[in-house]
Amino acid sequence: MKNTPILITILLIILIGILTVLAVNVLGEETSVKDHINEYTYTKAICTDSYCQDYVIACKGLEIANIEPITGAVIDINSNWEDPRTPEQISTWCG
């Protein structure tokens, strides 16, 4: 019985510590979600007269953050092939 107040104090300290860690993690995640809301990636084919290569395009808002070719995602096209995309779809990158 003498140790009961000490035990309760220790448990309360542990509980407060756990709640503090959880609160910091939750608030930190909210901030990072807001910071990354305008970051996204998509794939896009970039074509020349003779072939098309797929790329992963990473955007941050309206700016291009990164462009990387997808290995093996290349096709040869013949000279009478026409790109079915509109000129706007071809020229638009991030936005």
* Residue 57: strand pairing partners: 42, 67
| Per-residue pLDDT at 21 exceeds 60 | yes
Q: Are residues 33 and 50 in the same domain?
A: no
Print the domain residue range for 5. Answer: 1-37
* Of 39 and 25, the one with more pLDDT: 39
Q: Rounded to whole angstroms, how far apart are CA atoms 14 and 17?
A: 5
Q: Are residues 13 and 43 in the same domain?
A: no
**Across residues 32-55, what is the average pLDDT?**
84
Q: Are residues 22 and 9 in the same domain?
A: yes
| Percent with pLDDT over 90 in the chain | 38
State the total domains in the chain: 2
Q: Are residues 6 and 20 in the same domain?
A: yes
Q: Are residues 1 and 14 in the same domain?
A: yes
Q: Are residues 85 and 47 in the same domain?
A: yes
| Per-residue pLDDT at 8 exceeds 90 | no
Please give the single-letter amino acid code of residue 48. Answer: T
pLDDT score of 79:
84
Please give the single-letter amino acid code of residue 76. Answer: D
Specify the pTM: 0.58
> Contact at 8 Å (CB) between 53 and 46?
yes
Q: Are residues 80 and 45 in the same domain?
A: yes
> Residue 13 has which token pair?
């300290």
Q: How confident is the model at residue 34 (pLDDT cuts 50, 70, 90)?
A: low
